Structure 1
Amino acid sequence: MALLAPALAATAGPGAQGALAQVLPHDDPPTASAGPEQSYARLPLSFVRDGGTFTARTAAGTVTLRHGEAVVVPQHGERTGTPVVMGLAGAAQVAPQVQQRLPGVLNDLRGDDPSAWRTDVPTFGRVRYAEVYPGVDLDYHGTTGTLEYDFRLAPGADPDRIAVDFHGAALRLTRTGALVVGTGADRIRQAAPVAFQPSPDGRDAVPARFTLDGDRVGFSLGAHDPSRALVIDPLVLSYATLLGGAGDDRVADIAVDATGAAYLSGWTDSDAFPTTGGAYDTSRSGLDAIVTKLNPAGTALVYSTLLGGSGTDFADTVAVDSSGSAYVAGQTQSIGSAPSRFPTTAGAYTTASGDAGFGDAFVTRLNPAGNGLTYSAVFGGSDQEEVRAIALDPSGAAYAGGYTASTGNASTTFPSSPGAYQLTPRGTSRDGFVVKLDASGARAYATYLGGQSQDEVNGIDVDPQGHAYVTGFAYGSTSDTFPTTSATRFAPVEDNGVDAYLSRLSADGSTLEYSTGIGTDGNGSANNGSDFGYAVAVGPSEGTAYITGTSLTGSGPNGDFPLKHPYEGRNGSCCYGQDLFVAEFDTTRSGDASLVYSTLIGGGGAEGGTAIDVDSTGAAYVGGVVASESQPGDPYDTTPDELGGGAGRGRAFVTKVVQSGSGNAGLGFSTTLQGTSYLDGLGGLVYDETAGAVHVGGTSRSGSLLTTPGAFQTAGAGDRDGFAATVTVGTTPPDTTAPDTTITSGPAAGSTLTGASVSFGFSATESSTFECAYDGGGFAACGTPSPGLSGSDTRTLANGSHTFAVRARDAAANADPTPATRTFTVAVAVPPPPAPPADTTPPDTVITQAPPARVRVKRKATVSVGFTSTEPGSRFTCRVDGGPAQPCVSGAAFRLGRGQHTITVTAVDAAGNADPAPASVRVTVKKKRPRPGAGGGGRG
């Protein structure tokens, strides 16, 4: 049964990002059959456990399960609605059980005290209350913004026992049988119930309808078989998503890793900002920076991390390395003492702030799980600093570009590094800066970049050799121009306005290798002659770079934007002729030859480019904001109705700019994102060449972004909401639907086998290869190597309990996320062990004590012999002079007469093996010589 709160968006996994909206080129609306969109409908509701309470919080409300009740609190912008409490009359009080662990986790890294951080907070997709009535289980779960409560009845259970109380809420039934709970903006609608009985062929429908008795709801069922299980499950409407809570929530940038997972950075001031599981921790202190990772399919959040301190914190930009570590940067105003300040790490660059309350720049590297800091640096001077863009080189070094207003005396200025290109500020307003941090967060170099007026770095990229390319804007005149290299400037020399620029630094930051301004003649006007660079991307050829931004073109003879091989060069008719510009440079050349092409693109209103990426062919993908009305030839075919009227309104766009064979710039495609009117900005753009898709992220105030079925949130909950979208640029949408796997033959669940050989058969819902696992081990290929609809696997297993699992993987590499499993026991009778092999090795006999070789006695001598064997437990036989062998023991005595004698000792082991080479000793017995003078006298 599903309980739907108004626009109540299901939080999936960690964080606040919704499923990616799919937008096709040329404004073709997405269709329900588009491949990736179908997976978004499986986005589950996430619960976070606190003791016996489970809570899911989203941008539009909170769902709490406690004491056997479900409490839904709607959220309407900044107003909290009337809670709706649902309970069961006469139900048993039972402890809840979690049924489904979700992959997403929540991380809260706010403050500079790691002991107070909360990481890897788990989320759950299903909670069960078993036996609330005899034979009746109650399951809470949800998808695409719905809270569902399903009654699952065992055979023989009585459905008439079920009684749902909505405490203090007005109830009514519609003509279609739907249940409406509450009134006004707080009302919750449940579609008419659906009941069925599972069967081998699927499910057998059972007629069902709601019944009302005051504030109590029951169910009236039609004919069914009471001896079979029964499920009561009403249907509901689903909806899609933006990212945001009740306040100001923005997506500033987006990055994509090699797997296609998206990383979004931004900030929030919403109490209801949808973190993983929702209710674990929605407390905040000022604006908090956010970093959210979505899985490649956009169907689940991998993690969402809040980052900041007690003040205001912005995550302006994000990049990701090959290990999946996200690097985020921006500005923090959480300055002070621990634990309320922005989190930092030992050894990172200049973590001690000199800020007087305006804000410092920060660069933070998260670990791949998003639940800890590899490093975090905060740096600045006495005034304001902010990182506007970040880029990474292959070694993991981070390049941060932004601006500093700390241009006072040496003790309070931005901390540059010895040997850097520009050690001190040239003006008293703002200067740009570039900072390089190595993979550990230590400073490699830090340099100012600016003239004597206001200059800022807005975009940065880096080539494989470590050259940093930056763009931004610079106020200039003949006396305080932005630094350029010799004979390279595409802007009027006497420019009193603002110019965009492109600059390239050497790998060690010591040299300005290329720098040029590009723009129009300001003629002293505050509105005309202003050109702003916002984003830069390194091209596929060495030394090439592309920039985009906004040009407020002038009208005089020297005021036109410098065009070369342009697509379009006309000015608009409003907003001071504001058009976006795109330009390609070859920084290995100088002068005019270094400008490959430059073009303006726009309609009759205002356009601006805010993000850019480049593919391997040199085509540029540009994103930004357009506020032009439709006119012939306008690539942004918008209308006043779509714009909604009013100053500052616009729509996000994505445009592909290519060079034709003649060298002129042209449009590969151009599209606006439907429903993004009243847009604040498109912050980030990444082109995925493998997928043929452009990923974008930004901020909308319209609340009407065209989203896809099953997305996280369809309507903006506050003043501003972040959004993410994927624009497919002429390729077939990837297959993200995994096959289902079924075990078709083999041991029954719980069975005991008397044979060690086990065979299973299995099948898939589409042509697939199969992977098997036994007893929790890793999955490995099984069945036949070629794809098919079925397969089999045979193994020989040891005695004991075993679990077999099999999953299908389709041609698009989608693996069944819920493999089929079977648990069984092998109990094969064990035969007695074979007799040990017969012992045929004889022992060796060793004499340990031998008698003297010669013995003199009067008549007979008694001698003893000591002996042993190389095999313990052996017995011995002894013989004298070839006589019969007699049993003997070591130390045996032998009485010998006069003459030569041989004593032979033979060891015999327990197996009866006798030493074939017995040990022997020889003894000679002689008559004892009389002593001199002794005897019977002599002759007389």
Structure 2
Amino acid sequence: MGRLPLCFVANRGQFDPAVRFSVHGSSKNVFFTPTGVTFALRDRGQTGRAWAARMGFVDAATDAEVAVVQPGRAVFSYFKGRPDEWKSGVATARQIVYRRLWPGIDLVYSGAESRLKYEFRVAPGADPARIRLRYEGITGLEVAVSGALRVRTPVETFEDAAPVAWQVIDGERIEVPVRFALESGGVSGSRGFSFRVAGYDRNHALIVDPAVLVYCGYIGGSAEDRGYGIDVDAAGNAYVAGWTRSTELTFPAVVGPFVAHSGGADAFVAKVDPTGLELLYCGFIGGSGDDEAYDVCVDASGAAYVTGGATSDEKSFPVKGPLSPKKTGIGYDAFVAKVAPSGTALVYCGYIGGGLDDYGFGIDVDSSGQAHVAGWAYSSPAAGFPVKTGPFTSFGGLSDAFVAKIDSAGTAFVYCGYIGGSSYDYCTGIKIDASGAAVVTGYAASSHATFPVKGGPDLTANGGYDSFVARVPVSGAGLTTCGFIGGAGGDHAFDIDLDASGAIYVTGYTDSTESTFPVKVGPDTTFNGGSADAFVVKLTPSGTALVYCGYVGGVGADRGRGIGVDASGRAVITGETESPDFPTTRGPDSTFNGYTDGFVTMVDKDGAS
């Protein structure tokens, strides 16, 4: 996502009043004010040190208009705090301009792919010598042999590429000699620069273009950002959910070191167009604590449903509607939120939890618009967990998986209950079948003596954690089927999907070898070593028998995290690998790049390869 084109977010009260626009990027935020541009930088190393540098306009108009030249399609929404505090539908721009910053001279900022670009547009008769700028909060400013302007700070060094200049006369572009010129003097940490332009026709407009400046990522900002869930609508738009600790709202009042952020994590949901090249919306959901999204799904109307965990209470978290509007405990509560198709409004948002830690980790929506959430709970009914109907209303042990179904209006639970035994049990993925039943997966440490096994595929626990697959009927009362998939080691299922026939596909990771893991057909029936191999499993539509089950991996640690199945019945899994011998075939990159790489693997429909 970091390669999406950058955009300029307008200030509608979510930033310091001095800011007109901002750009958020990887390890940096950029704020545009009438008198200059502030770069809020962060060391991406372990220190996370924050530093502010500013490029000010010298002898320029202090009331220059900062306006949109080219509007962007994306909108940003900040669902934080009470509804009257939300900032929704905030417009963006692809290009902005400082008009008449100096007499007859405009300064234009835009994006060149994911880089920030600026240029000066000099009207006929105007003097480019008036263009003077000064950096503050820097440790050095120099012109490199290449002609680039190198800006040094304690956190990061960045460059303005060597400038170019031109005029268009009688339809022909005429190149004009130009270079950076450093100014002498100035207080410590401050130095100015300008441009030396020679041999141009003052009767025609002049463009002075320092090319690209700094790289700015896109979904994310200057701190820790993680994407956890993704879904795609019928038009091919992608919806991404995760959480961010970035400093979107922090504008440093002074140059030099600064305290970047005093809050916790915020959940986010973003929509990206089918080309993957343009952000359509991005919304932040959070309060004063740590609020994290772990999964997202989209319905036929384009509404997005998000789940995760939140520590923010109802005083700062954007609860809306009567569904559990108050937080029960002091730790994490699961939450569920519905975002309108425009991305500019929350339809509803509420908690699922009790007095201990509870997390929503998977979400899907049925054809009636009823959201189904899966996760795990440490809270018993006595601790306030909102059980209703089932699957089971009694808390089994140390932690239980849970499944909850919310009505289409987001006003009440249709059902909410546990799946678990006497030990630690977790639900990590959910899909709704054609009948409206919820098919879930996860992993369980509880043995078959207390875990509610029924039907298969394996009714006997195998040691350590076993993966499991279960089907919850439409009513939510009890289970239709439930069984283990595992061996003598640790087996952790992380995601699930269904094909058109109702067959069930699961991925995760295991350290169980083929002597105990239920390998069948493939794609690889031999454990490859390391601390874990990814696995992929296909089950019959009933969920009671394996069609195929095998490993995907190499000599390092390999973990399956997500799975989808195409119209031909081919499973596509994604995850991470530490194996230099990971079984690659074709693109996008068949070379191991060191430490941990992401992977995408397609398994043919019979599971053999």
Q: TM-score category by the smaller chain?
A: 0.7 to 0.9
**SS of equivalent residue, structure 1 residue 643:** coil
The match for 2:356 is: 383
Instruction: Tell me the amino acid that sits aligned with residue 262 of structure 1.
Output: A
Offset of 1:183 from its aligned partner?
Answer: 5.9
Deviation sequence 1:696-733 (CA, Å, 0-9, x none): xxxxxxxxxxxxxxxxxxxxxxxxxxxxxxxxxxxxxx
Offset of 1:606 from its aligned partner?
Answer: 2.1
Q: Decide whether the 8 Å contact of 1:69 with 1:88 is kept in 2.
A: no
Structure 1 position 396 matched with structure 2 position 369: yes
The match for 2:188 is: none
Instruction: Tell me the amino acid that sits aligned with residue 570 of structure 1.
Output: T
Structure 1 position 81 matched with structure 2 position 21: no
Q: Decide whether the 8 Å contact of 2:534 with 2:558 is kept in 1.
A: yes
CA–CA distance in structure 2, aligned partners of residues 157 and 213 of structure 1: 21
Instruction: Tell me the amino acid that sits aligned with residue 571 of structure 1.
Output: F
The match for 1:873 is: none
Q: 2:536 aligns with which of 582, 588, 598?
A: 582
CA–CA distance in structure 2, aligned partners of residues 266 and 158 of structure 1: 49
Q: Cα 1:258–1:477, aligned 2, differ >3 Å: closer, same or farther?
A: closer
Q: Cα 1:639–1:274, aligned 2, differ >3 Å: closer, same or farther?
A: farther
Give the gaps of 5 or more residues in structure 1.
Answer: 1-16, 20-39, 276-281, 523-528, 645-649, 668-940
Q: Cα 1:599–1:635, aligned 2, differ >3 Å: closer, same or farther?
A: farther
The match for 2:255 is: none
Instruction: Kindly indicate whether structure 1 or structure 2 has the higher relative contact order, using CA contacts under 8 Å at least 6 residues apart.
Output: 1
What is the correspondence of 1:907-926 to structure 2 with a 5 Å cutoff? Answer: none
Deviation sequence 1:126-182 (CA, Å, 0-9, x none): 443333444333333343454444222222223334333445865432223222344
Q: Decide whether the 8 Å contact of 1:502 with 1:517 is kept in 2.
A: yes
The match for 1:629 is: 580
Q: Cα 1:202–1:388, aligned 2, differ >3 Å: closer, same or farther?
A: farther
Offset of 1:124 from its aligned partner?
Answer: 3.4
Structure 1 position 48 matched with structure 2 position 1: no
Q: 1:501 aligns with which of 462, 468, 471?
A: 468
Deviation sequence 1:557-578 (CA, Å, 0-9, x none): xx42112222211123332xx2
Offset of 1:121 from its aligned partner?
Answer: 2.4
Q: Decide whether the 8 Å contact of 2:464 with 2:490 is kept in 1.
A: yes
Deviation sequence 1:763-809 (CA, Å, 0-9, x none): xxxxxxxxxxxxxxxxxxxxxxxxxxxxxxxxxxxxxxxxxxxxxxx
Q: Decide whether the 8 Å contact of 1:476 with 1:495 is kept in 2.
A: no
Structure 1 position 328 matched with structure 2 position 306: yes
Structure 1 position 539 matched with structure 2 position 499: yes
CA–CA distance in structure 2, aligned partners of residues 532 and 206 of structure 1: 63
Offset of 1:400 from its aligned partner?
Answer: 0.7
Q: Cα 1:75–1:57, aligned 2, differ >3 Å: closer, same or farther?
A: farther
Cα-Cα RMSD: 3.0
Structure 1 position 301 matched with structure 2 position 279: yes
Offset of 1:202 from its aligned partner?
Answer: 5.2
What is the correspondence of 1:87-236 to structure 2 with a 5 Å cutoff? Answer: 87-89=57-59, 91-100=60-69, 101-111=71-81, 113-166=82-135, 170-182=140-152, 185-199=155-169, 201=171, 203-214=173-184, 215-236=191-212
The match for 2:33 is: 66
CA–CA distance in structure 2, aligned partners of residues 231 and 494 of structure 1: 72
Deviation sequence 1:825-861 (CA, Å, 0-9, x none): xxxxxxxxxxxxxxxxxxxxxxxxxxxxxxxxxxxxx
Q: Cα 1:285–1:133, aligned 2, differ >3 Å: closer, same or farther?
A: closer
CA–CA distance in structure 1, aligned partners of residues 10 and 328 of structure 2: 42
**SS of equivalent residue, structure 1 residue 85:** strand
CA–CA distance in structure 1, aligned partners of residues 388 and 475 of structure 2: 11
Offset of 1:494 from its aligned partner?
Answer: 6.0
What is the correspondence of 1:723-734 to structure 2 with a 5 Å cutoff? Answer: none
Offset of 1:458 from its aligned partner?
Answer: 0.8
Q: 2:507 aligns with which of 539, 542, 548?
A: 548
Instruction: Tell me the amino acid that sits aligned with residue 407 of structure 2.
Output: D
Instruction: Tell me the amino acid that sits aligned with residue 403 of structure 1.
Output: W
Q: Cα 1:366–1:478, aligned 2, differ >3 Å: closer, same or farther?
A: closer
Q: Cα 1:18–1:260, aligned 2, differ >3 Å: closer, same or farther?
A: farther
Farther-moved stretch of structure 1 (139-148 vs 390-399)? 139-148
Q: 2:247 aligns with which of 267, 271, 275?
A: 271
The match for 2:340 is: 367
What is the correspondence of 1:788-799 to structure 2 with a 5 Å cutoff? Answer: none
Offset of 1:103 from its aligned partner?
Answer: 2.5
Q: Decide whether the 8 Å contact of 2:504 with 2:543 is kept in 1.
A: no
Q: 2:603 aligns with which of 634, 657, 678?
A: 657
Q: Decide whether the 8 Å contact of 2:334 with 2:351 is kept in 1.
A: yes
CA–CA distance in structure 1, aligned partners of residues 103 and 520 of structure 2: 80
Offset of 1:392 from its aligned partner?
Answer: 1.1
What is the correspondence of 1:424-443 to structure 2 with a 5 Å cutoff? Answer: 424-425=394-395, 427-441=396-410, 442-443=412-413
Offset of 1:94 from its aligned partner?
Answer: 4.0
CA–CA distance in structure 2, aligned partners of residues 636 and 134 of structure 1: 57
Q: Cα 1:489–1:476, aligned 2, differ >3 Å: closer, same or farther?
A: farther
**SS of equivalent residue, structure 1 residue 376:** strand
Offset of 1:639 from its aligned partner?
Answer: 11
Deviation sequence 1:101-125 (CA, Å, 0-9, x none): 32322212122x2112222223334
The match for 1:723 is: none
Q: Cα 1:560–1:203, aligned 2, differ >3 Å: closer, same or farther?
A: same
Q: Cα 1:234–1:565, aligned 2, differ >3 Å: closer, same or farther?
A: same
Instruction: Tell me the amino acid that sits aligned with residue 86 of structure 1.
Output: G
**SS of equivalent residue, structure 2 residue 520:** coil
Instruction: Tell me the amino acid that sits aligned with residue 326 of structure 1.
Output: A
Offset of 1:500 from its aligned partner?
Answer: 0.9
Structure 1 position 249 matched with structure 2 position 232: no
Offset of 1:47 from its aligned partner?
Answer: 5.0
Deviation sequence 1:411-433 (CA, Å, 0-9, x none): 33532223x332212x2211111
Q: 2:457 aligns with which of 482, 485, 489?
A: 489
Structure 1 position 286 matched with structure 2 position 261: no
Instruction: Tell me the amino acid that sits aligned with residue 572 of structure 1.
Output: N
Higher-Rg structure is: 1
CA–CA distance in structure 2, aligned partners of residues 184 and 346 of structure 1: 48
Deviation sequence 1:65-108 (CA, Å, 0-9, x none): 3343333343323223352333233x444431413332322212
Instruction: Tell me the amino acid that sits aligned with residue 580 of structure 1.
Output: A
The match for 2:288 is: 310
Q: Decide whether the 8 Å contact of 2:397 with 2:423 is kept in 1.
A: yes
Q: Decide whether the 8 Å contact of 1:57 with 1:274 is kept in 2.
A: no
Offset of 1:313 from its aligned partner?
Answer: 1.4
Q: Cα 1:333–1:194, aligned 2, differ >3 Å: closer, same or farther?
A: same
The match for 1:934 is: none
CA–CA distance in structure 1, aligned partners of residues 374 and 272 of structure 2: 26
- Count of aligned pairs between the two proteins: 584
Identity level (%): 32
Q: Decide whether the 8 Å contact of 1:362 with 1:378 is kept in 2.
A: yes
Instruction: Tell me the amino acid that sits aligned with residue 271 of structure 1.
Output: T
The match for 1:444 is: 414
Given the two structures, how large is their TM-score scaled by the length of structure 1?
0.58
**SS of equivalent residue, structure 2 residue 84:** helix
CA–CA distance in structure 1, aligned partners of residues 556 and 471 of structure 2: 33
Structure 1 position 666 matched with structure 2 position 600: no
**SS of equivalent residue, structure 1 residue 305:** strand
Q: Decide whether the 8 Å contact of 2:103 with 2:126 is kept in 1.
A: yes
Q: Decide whether the 8 Å contact of 1:244 with 1:273 is kept in 2.
A: no
CA–CA distance in structure 1, aligned partners of residues 56 and 142 of structure 2: 15
Q: Decide whether the 8 Å contact of 1:384 with 1:405 is kept in 2.
A: yes
The match for 1:703 is: none
Q: 2:320 aligns with which of 345, 353, 360?
A: 345
CA–CA distance in structure 1, aligned partners of residues 332 and 227 of structure 2: 20
CA–CA distance in structure 2, aligned partners of residues 640 and 145 of structure 1: 25
The match for 2:569 is: 618
